[in-house]
Structure 1
Amino acid sequence: MTATRESATGPGTGFEEVHILWISEGMSCDGDTVSVTAASQPAIEDVVGGLIPGLPKVHLHNKVLSPTLGGEEFLAPFRAAAAGELEPFIFVLEGSVPNEKINGEGYWTSFGNDPVTGEPLTLDKWIDALSARAWAVVAAGTCATYGGIHAMEGNPTGSMGLADYLGWDFTSRGGLPIVNVPGCPVQPDNFMETLTWLLYHAAGTAPPPPLDEMLRPTWLFGNTVHDGCDRAASYEQAVFADTYNSQQCLVKIGCWGPVVKCNVPKRGWMGGVGGCPNVGGICIACTMPGFPDKFMPFMDEPPGARLSSTLIKPYGAFIRRMRGITQGTVNKEPKWHHNRDVLTSGYRPHKRARR
């Protein structure tokens, strides 16, 4: 089950075929898988169907999207990869990683059974086996990247993100760090765009994707929600909403957009439409490593919002006044637009000099 290589121009480049082994048996709701089915830039069907020029042939193994009947038929490529009999592959984890060292007499989550003992195979065993052999490792969604809901204070499972489990200095067989694509759930095009970049890199036609210090793609998570928000101009003019059906800035009723790295307001959700503040929802920081603990209670005004909104009030009032004066001038037609019998536009014809 080993794919052939077209060339050996680097660590794992020039592949003609790539398997994607996607496990969503982390502490998860499968929301990231469901979200990715809505992608259009590119669509997952186009990637798997070979419709994107220059990509390797892709074999996707995901329980929700699998054409198999499940059971051992579905598990076969995962077992082969864990045994070193299938390569190259990209390992995608969905859901947070529970600490199986504190599971008492049971287990937190599993994926299939041990063929020898018949006992459930816990997630950590799969992570250990697959990450050690994967050409690239991707964490899909905030639970997999930073722990998310399951890792919040007071949880009994000791859940964590994949980088917390493997180590933040982890590198894959392809020489890549873990690629984190956060979101609760992940924005569909963000994930597919990142995966496509990785596949071009696997084909040997693109460099590794650039990542920030939290291993997020920089071109997707380099700016804040506020930077791309439709309501940012209201903030500048100190016009703040006090109800959720307002068109104004939502920062005083719980929005964390000014400090959250996320491109959803600019990109939208499906087909460029939607995105939390775009449709009247506050940003609760679901793409951030500190989510949810550092941003609760969600509906309360963020600590910094009170100070910043107070400081900007005099500036905003002045700007609104000046823009109102300017608008009063430019929101009128010029005076020479009329139907009288005299030209008043200021037209002055120039006589041509005689030769």
Structure 2
Amino acid sequence: MTTAKSPQAGQSQPHGFDEIHILWISEGMSCDGDTVAVTAAAQPAIEDVVTGLVPGLPTVHLHNKVLSPTVGGEEFLAPFRAAARGELTPFILVIEGSIPNEKINGDGYWTSFGNHPNTGEPLTLNWWIDNLAPKAWAVVAAGTCATYGGIHAMAGNPTGCMGLADYLGSDFRSTGGLPIVNVPGCPVQPDNFMETLTWVLYHAAGSAPPPPLDEMLRPQWLFGKTVHEGCDRAGYYEQGDFAKDYNSPKCQVKIGCWGPVVNCNVPKRGWMGGIGGCPNVGGICIACTMPGFPDKFMPFMDMPPGGSLSSAIVKPYGAFIRRMRGITNSTANTEPRWRHNREELTSGYNPRWRP
């Protein structure tokens, strides 16, 4: 068990851990895409966090099935079982995948993580959340499935899937006094997740305040702006210049992009190393970071409601502005008339100070 350091004078939070575990369960209803995505993070890289290369962080012990050095089985499950018994603290619980409703599973179960040591019966994801979340110093939901339910929670699903806050309640608080920290994305943007996790770790070390979250429990500094506000195609929207097919570099609102109303920083940040991001590479935004995804944004390739109205309103203004800017651009592409090789000075130079 790791003990907390004594708070320094003026320190606002009465904690500060030298060592912490990250128990990452990806047995929610998911594709493990968030774990795979996080391996591409560089700000910081997950290996830099685990190997102690990020200054000021506690020593981190990561338990993730994809990244685990164990051979699996009981060796991998050991820290999870110890934490459930209250013998491993402190730890951060990371959940990947949506949470099924095991109250409607009939005679079976929807998803499990290991077996009960006495009965051999599968231990459901819900069992682990019930036993780990109340003991966790912080709880982080990785990806849209874990945050809001995602694909598995769409209309017509038989599992009754939901997000972690739906399961634990939006008023849930960890032992560290934190609400659930939601980092949505399908999959999660790698650096968004690692930056958020690093903030939580600095907070655990006693050197940072709690991460600021919005009303949907997302990090404010990452999800405070819309896709449109960071999109390199946004200038075309202002000029009323819209793409008619997916080969165009222009604004894609008319061919299904939801960017103007979606909270996400991917066009600004890119995907890996600042490169990529849906609209940046010709893809439309399908709102995968939003709580209503996917139901409220389907069919994906259809123009969003309001898209025809907004594009119609901006079109005459945009056409006029585009024409005026074209004239100005033409003028700006012309050199001043005094740049010549004739035998006279026409630049307007007037040495009035001379006698």
What TM-score bracket applies, with the shorter chain setting the length? over 0.9
How much has 1:329 moved relative to structure 2? 1.3
Residues 96-175 of structure 1 mapped to structure 2, 5 A cutoff: 96-175=98-177
Q: 1:156 deviation in Å?
A: 0.3
Tell me which moved more, 6-15 or 188-197.
6-15
Aligned partner letter, 2:197 = L
Match of 1:307 in 2: 309
Aligned residues: 352
2: CA distance, partners of 1:252 / 1:304? 10
What residue number does 2:247 align with? 245
The structural deviation recorded for 1:4 is 2.4
Residues 88-137 of structure 1, C-alpha deviations (whole Å, 9 max, x = no match): 00000000000000000000000000001001000100000110100000
Instruction: Tell me the distance in 1 between the aligned counterparts of 2:244 and 2:6.
Output: 60
Give yes or no for contact 1:11–1:174 (8 Å, CA) kept in 2.
no
Give the equivalent residue in structure 2 for 1:21: 23
1:152-204 per-residue CA deviation (whole Å, 9 max, x = no partner) reads 00000000000000001100000000000000000000000000000000011
Identity among equivalent positions (%) equals: 80
User: Any conservation in 2 of the 1:12–1:135 contact (CA below 8 Å)?
Assistant: no
Q: Which runs of 4+ in 1 moved over 4 A?
A: 8-12
Give 3-state SS (helix, strand or coil) of 1:284's partner: coil
8 Å contact from structure 2 (residues 13, 206) kept in 1 = no
CA distance in 2, matches of 1:106, 1:56: 41
2:247 maps to amino acid:
N
| Cα distance per residue 1:49-76 (max 9 Å; x no partner) | 1001100000000000000010000000
SS in 1 for 2:306: helix
Matched residue SS, 1:132: helix
Give the whole-Å Cα distance in 2 for the aligned partners of 1:294 and 1:147.
13
Counterpart amino acid of residue 256 in structure 1: W
Runs of 5+ unmatched residues, structure 1: none
Residue equivalent to 2:225: 223
Other-structure match for 1:3: 2
Unaligned ranges ≥5, structure 2: none
TM-score (norm 2): 0.98
| Stretch of structure 1 that moved more, 130-139 or 315-324 | 315-324
Cα contact 1:234–1:248 (8 A) shared by 2:
yes
In the aligned structure 1, how far is the partner of 2:103 from the partner of 2:74? 27
1:67-82 correspondence runs (5 A): 67-82=69-84
- Take 2:15 and 2:154, find their aligned partners in 1: how far apart are those partners? 38
Q: 5 Å matches for 1:1-355?
A: 2-8=1-7, 13-352=15-354
Alpha-carbon distance between aligned partners in 2 of 1:64 and 1:13, rounded to the nearest angstrom: 31
> C-alpha root-mean-square deviation of aligned residues, in Å?
1.0
Aligned partners of 2:13 and 2:209 also within 8 Å = no
Q: CA deviation at 1:318?
A: 1.2
SS of alignment partner, residue 135 of structure 2: coil
